A and B are shown apart, each in its own frame.
Chain A
Amino acid sequence: MLRFVSLMFKNSWRNRRRTALTVVSTGISLCLLGVLLAVYAAFYFAKPSAYQALRLVTRNRVSLAVSMPMYYRDKIRSIRGVREVGILQWFGGAYKDSRDPNNFFARMAIEPESLFILRGEMSVPEDQKKTFLQDRTGCLVGRMLADRLNFKPGDRITLVGDIFPVTLELTVRAIFDAPENAEVLYFHWKYLEESISRGRGSMVGAFSILADSPESAPRIARDVDATFRNTSFETKTESEQQFGLSFLSFLGNVKAFLLSICAAVTFTILLVSANTMAMSVRERIQEVGILKTLGFTTGEVTGIILGEAVIISLAGGALGLLLASGLCVLVRMGPIGFDLFRHLAIQPRTAGLCLGLAVLIGVASSVVPALAAARTSIVNAVRHAG
């Protein structure tokens, strides 16, 4: 069959306009499919980094909006395999005009000493780290966020609270670099605790836990929840990655949404491609008759037509992947600070899947017309009006 490859290429390039239109249209659809699959992979198949695999998050079992007592921290610390535990308190509030989505970012109250152990992958210049540790109203800002809102050490940031009815006056003391979660502002839990005079003080929203090995992390999660079972404040502990995904599931059934769009796109490409192949085969029934007169078998003729279709859809696939990679770069540079999107790329596996799908579409779209043409008897084929 390989010796017919040049014939397949020649055939596929015969009606240039049609081939070009088909390649571009399958390419555009496959580009869409590639990006959707990349998003899907980023959401559900991303491997946690070495540090992330060690981290767990504990929250109140009822929901994130409900807090739990601060003394839980010491109880968690005594569980076997827990290397470090620290408060992780979401501070909602508003920075400047909260109606501008660009002014939204995560603000977390933390205990600085714990944070530097929990997030060992963070790199902070030593002198900045020192001033941050010393200044109770200081804050530590991720590089991505600092670049976006142009924060520099020494800048003042005012946060007006809503969940916590206080206004915080913070000073940027340090900027950290990290491969992920670099769009966040950390500040001293102590500062927040002092500012709230009323009852909520001894309650916290979540704890971040560092396990001593990735293997012990699931066991620690079970142990933490078992410790507080049947108390007034039961907990739910999950890996940091799962914790992130739970925000996603809150947005609705993202999985079903992505998959149903992917299915619609795939089916559309199949239709476009099948249409093209049906048209081009119909035009060439006479040729099929001649090929068969020359001694080509039914199988060979089918193969040549299938090959032609695969060449066209693979070309579409390649174009689609090229476009999709470009789109991913655009998404990465985009303004929305969703950490998962910062690393959006067409992984080799996604690329393989797209090309595999292109081959399948090529075969599926041409198998019916190819078989029909190849089975036509020579006499009928040659007589065919075209």
Chain B
Amino acid sequence: MAAIPISYNLRNLVVRKTTTIMTALGIALTVAVLLAILALVHGLDTAFAASGHPLNVLVLRKGSDSELASNFLRTAYQDLRPKPGIARGRGGEPLASLELVTVINLPSRSNPDGMNVTLRGLSGAGIEMRDQVRLAQGRWFESGQREVVVGRSITGRFPGAALGRTIRFGRGDWRVVGIMDAGQTASNSEIFGDVDEVSADFNRSSVLSSALVRATDAVAVRALIRDINDDRRLNCSAQTERAYYEQQTNSGKPVQYVGLMVAIIMAVGSSFAAMNTMYAAVSRRAREIGTLRVLGFSRASILLSFFLESLLLSAAGGVLGCLLVLPLNGMTAGIGNLVTFSEIAFDFRVSPSIIAAGVGFALLMGALGGVFPARMAAKKEILNALREG
């Protein structure tokens, strides 16, 4: 079977450039919506997947599944610290950190009425255990001082949280003395302060939120978790820090759900538009189809040719859609985290697999829009086709 050369289809698309551009743009916008959503979800997943050291064990009060809803007693921390399997820090002390996690409301650039931000009171060991957290500007808070260090994405989104300024929560003002860079992790969306100062301000010196401990190695992680979970006196539950963050990935689910619905509905509209364009192409080129048949091209090759043309058209739209979304790559945005009850910042990530999904989605629209017109073209009788047009 002789195939009709693909340059024939390309030339046809170029000749009808207005229609081609408009149809492709419609497909491009649909693809762009889908890709923006996928890039958002992927960015969010990356933020959560990157958070948490595999050797860190997070201890909460039994029955709580988030740090915010956990009431962790200072006395439990005293019992926890001497447990075997906990690594030692630079100073020889056990790597364990008693932490207070709460939410404070700060006016942000996009929402002057205030957005929720996670505030974490922790000790020097707590900072040491978070390997990805590095000081980007300024210095760390000193213990006993009303000082805080804010995450990189906090400082960009909340004008009050800039180096040298003060933010107000608890019983008064706190000075921002440093900005930390936590790579892609969730700590970028948090504010760190001295645990004793912060908990005193919130009247929670004896009832805090959680404890983070570093196990010596992977085997010790499992042993330590079992040890803590079985300790009746402690009344706590332990899990790896990584597992804790993995649970939170469903924060993006509502957006993902709405976005996918929108993209699918738009896709139906766009594939109808592609169908329209292809039907017009078929009826306008009836005489050409007749001629091709006279020249000896089979029905099958005509079917294939028009189908390919529709795919080409939609592929152009798909590529255009990807180009539209590319500027989003690396852009920072925030979304509500249902577990921490505050915003988590993340970067949009347009990965190669997302681009492939976008082009695939476009081709699907093209295939749906092209199959019926192509069949009509193939069914044309030679004589009728030559007479038409």
Which residues of A approach B to under 8 Å, CB–CB?
17-18, 21-22, 24-26, 28-29, 31-32, 36, 61-66, 92, 94, 98, 160-163, 165, 198-200, 203, 232, 236, 246, 249-253, 256-257, 261, 264-265, 267-269, 271-272, 274-276, 278-279
Known: A61-B105, A268-B29, A271-B29. A162 touches B63 (CB 8 A): yes
CB distance A18 to B280 under 8 Å?
A: yes
B148 to chain A, nearest CB (A): 14
B69 at the interface (CB under 8 A from A): yes
- Give A61 to B65 CA distance when docked, in angstroms: 25
B19 at the interface (CB under 8 A from A): yes
CB distance B64 to A279 under 8 Å?
A: no
CB distance A250 to B22 under 8 Å?
A: no
- Interfacial chain A residues near B65, Cβ < 8 Å: 98, 162
- Interfacial chain A residues near B23, Cβ < 8 Å: 271, 275
Contact with A along B16-42 (1 / 0, CB 8 A): 001100110110011011000000000
- Interfacial chain B residues near A32, Cβ < 8 Å: 262, 265-266
CB distance A275 to B115 under 8 Å?
A: no
A sample of 29 inter-chain contacts (CB < 8 A) reads: A17-B279, A24-B272, A25-B268, A29-B265, A62-B169, A63-B116, A64-B341, A65-B103, A66-B202, A199-B203, A200-B207, A249-B111, A250-B336, A250-B343, A251-B254, A252-B334, A252-B335, A264-B32, A264-B266, A268-B26, A268-B30, A268-B270, A271-B22, A272-B26, A272-B269, A275-B277, A278-B19, A279-B19, A279-B276
B70 at the interface (CB under 8 A from A): yes
A144 to chain B, nearest CB (A): 20
CB distance B102 to A279 under 8 Å?
A: no
CB distance B113 to A275 under 8 Å?
A: no
B282 to chain A, nearest CB (A): 11
Q: Using a Cβ–Cβ cut-off of 8 Å, how many residues does chain B contribute to the interface with A?
A: 59
Known: A18-B279, A64-B103, A271-B22. A28 touches B69 (CB 8 A): no
Shortest beta-carbon contacts, A-B, top 10: A25-B272, A162-B69, A251-B336, A162-B64, A272-B273, A65-B103, A252-B335, A275-B22, A271-B26, A63-B103
A45 to chain B, nearest CB (A): 17
B171 at the interface (CB under 8 A from A): yes
- Interfacial chain A residues near B25, Cβ < 8 Å: 271
Which residue from A160, A232, A265 sits with its C-beta under 8 Å from B171? A232
B7 at the interface (CB under 8 A from A): no
- Give A160 to B55 CA distance when docked, in angstroms: 30
Which residue from A21, A63, A160 sits with its C-beta under 8 Å from B272? A21
What 7 new A-B contacts, CB under 8 Å, besides A236-B105, A272-B22? Answer: A62-B102, A62-B104, A64-B341, A250-B341, A268-B30, A275-B276, A275-B277
B170 at the interface (CB under 8 A from A): yes
- Interfacial chain A residues near B171, Cβ < 8 Å: 232
- Interfacial chain B residues near A199, Cβ < 8 Å: 203, 206-207
CB distance B63 to A160 under 8 Å?
A: yes
- Interfacial chain B residues near A253, Cβ < 8 Å: 110-111, 333-334
8 Å CB interface, B104-131 against A: 104-105, 110-111, 113-116
CB distance A65 to B102 under 8 Å?
A: yes
- Interfacial chain A residues near B341, Cβ < 8 Å: 64-65, 250
Known: A62-B105, A62-B170, A199-B207. A276 touches B262 (CB 8 A): no
A204 to chain B, nearest CB (A): 13
Residue in A22, A31, A203, A276 whose Cβ sees the most chain B Cβ within 10 Å:
A276
Residue in A63, A94, A272 whose Cβ sees the most chain B Cβ within 10 Å:
A63
CB distance B279 to A261 under 8 Å?
A: no
CB distance A269 to B269 under 8 Å?
A: yes
- Interfacial chain A residues near B33, Cβ < 8 Å: 261, 264
- Give A162 to B22 CA distance when docked, in angstroms: 56
CB distance B268 to A163 under 8 Å?
A: no
- Give A29 to B269 CA distance when docked, in angstroms: 6
A322 to chain B, nearest CB (A): 15
B152 at the interface (CB under 8 A from A): no
- Give A47 to B195 CA distance when docked, in angstroms: 44
Contact with A along B50-69 (1 / 0, CB 8 A): 00000000000101111011
- Interfacial chain B residues near A17, Cβ < 8 Å: 279
- Give A98 to B339 CA distance when docked, in angstroms: 13
Which residue from A36, A163, A264 sits with its C-beta under 8 Å from B29? A264
Known: A25-B272, A249-B113. A274 touches B22 (CB 8 A): yes
CB distance B269 to A249 under 8 Å?
A: no
- Interfacial chain B residues near A249, Cβ < 8 Å: 111, 113, 115
B64 to chain A, nearest CB (A): 4
B66 to chain A, nearest CB (A): 8
- Interfacial chain B residues near A272, Cβ < 8 Å: 22, 26, 269-270, 272-273, 276
Which residue from B68, B102, B269, B276 sits with its C-beta under 8 Å from A268? B269
B275 at the interface (CB under 8 A from A): yes
B107 to chain A, nearest CB (A): 12
CB distance B22 to A278 under 8 Å?
A: yes
